[in-house]
Amino acid sequence: MTAIERPPLSSLACVNSACESYGQSGQDNLTVRKVYGKDHIRFLRCHHCGQEFSERKNTALWNTKIPEARAIDVGRHLAEGVSLKGTARLTYSHKDTVKRLLGRFGHHAQAFHEQTAQQLDIDVLEMDERHGYVEHKAEQCWDAVALDAESKFVVQVEVGPRNEQLIDSLMRQTHRRLAHPQDLVLMTDGEASYRTLFPVIFGVPYLPPV
Ligand SMILES: [Zn+2]
């Protein structure tokens, strides 16, 4: 595996929340102080506040020892729905490493989705529940998912027991991401709570698909 090409400095930002340039890329405030490790991770300095920090700070790989190329390989397998065991075998990684990365990637992806999936321009939405399990087959749970019917973009996922509260939370979390939730067509599997909750949360009548 070869080292990953580092992203341009203009795409990175200061991690000091007290800095005037916190979280803003392209401010021309960062320089490289030194480079460390096999992946040539850069240690940066912000000239607006003087803080020095690793370019990995606040990323999913902060404080991991695993080579970046392998971490990305693990992430790609997990994103395709490969199991923990399967991913461990295919990437020559320990199962605990895969599990730890899954947790980190998940939290990071959730924060990224929260920041970017806003004001979505969606006309037809699909809502569905899938049955699954967490960790062991004994821990049964449901995934409730809201998708853009056209692009299949995942707008929202909620996990829990299959009840009205799950659908309620899926609808409320989806509603706040939409640019025009009042002109929406909703397609569902016909679960009764959609019919009762949709008018309450979206303020428009529910029309079952024909
Ligand atoms: Zn700064």
Q: Ligand 1 centroid vs 14 CA: distance in angstroms?
A: 5
Q: Ligand 1 centroid vs 16 CA: distance in angstroms?
A: 6
Q: Ligand 1 centroid vs 87 CA: distance in angstroms?
A: 38
Query: pLDDT 10s per residue in the chain (210 long)?
Result: 556 788 999 999 999 999 999 999 999 999 999 999 888 999 999 999 999 999 999 888 888 888 999 999 999 999 999 999 999 999 999 999 999 999 999 999 999 999 999 999 999 999 998 887 766 677 778 899 999 999 999 999 999 988 899 999 999 999 999 999 988 889 988 777 888 899 899 888 776 655
Say how many C-beta atoms besides its own lie within 10 A of residue 65's C-beta. Answer: 9
Q: Ligand 1 centroid vs 50 CA: distance in angstroms?
A: 6
Q: Decide if 116 contacts 108 (C-beta within 8 A).
A: no
Residue-wise pLDDT for 98-130, tens only, equals: 999 999 999 999 999 999 999 999 999 999 988
Q: Ligand 1 centroid vs 24 CA: distance in angstroms?
A: 10
Q: Ligand 1 centroid vs 40 CA: distance in angstroms?
A: 22
The 8 Å CB, 24+ separation contacts for 92-98 are: 93/66, 97/66, 98/74
- Chain centroid to Cα 195, Å, comes to 29
Report the alpha-carbon distance of residue 184 to residue 200 in Å, rounded: 14
- Which residue's entry shows tokens 């990323």? 59
**Which pair of tokens denotes residue 13?**
């930002």
Report the alpha-carbon distance of residue 202 to residue 78 in Å, rounded: 34
Report the relative pairing of strands 154-160 and 52-54 from DSSP bridges: unpaired
Side chain identity, residue 183: D
Q: Ligand 1 centroid vs 20 CA: distance in angstroms?
A: 7
Q: Ligand 1 centroid vs 41 CA: distance in angstroms?
A: 19
Residue-wise pLDDT for 133-161, tens only, equals: 766 677 778 899 999 999 999 999 999 98
Q: Ligand 1 centroid vs 209 CA: distance in angstroms?
A: 53
- Which residue's entry shows tokens 């102080």? 33
Average pLDDT, the chain: 90
Instruction: Give the pLDDT of residue 1.
Output: 53
- Which residue's entry shows tokens 């090409």? 5
Instruction: Give the pLDDT of residue 84.
Output: 94
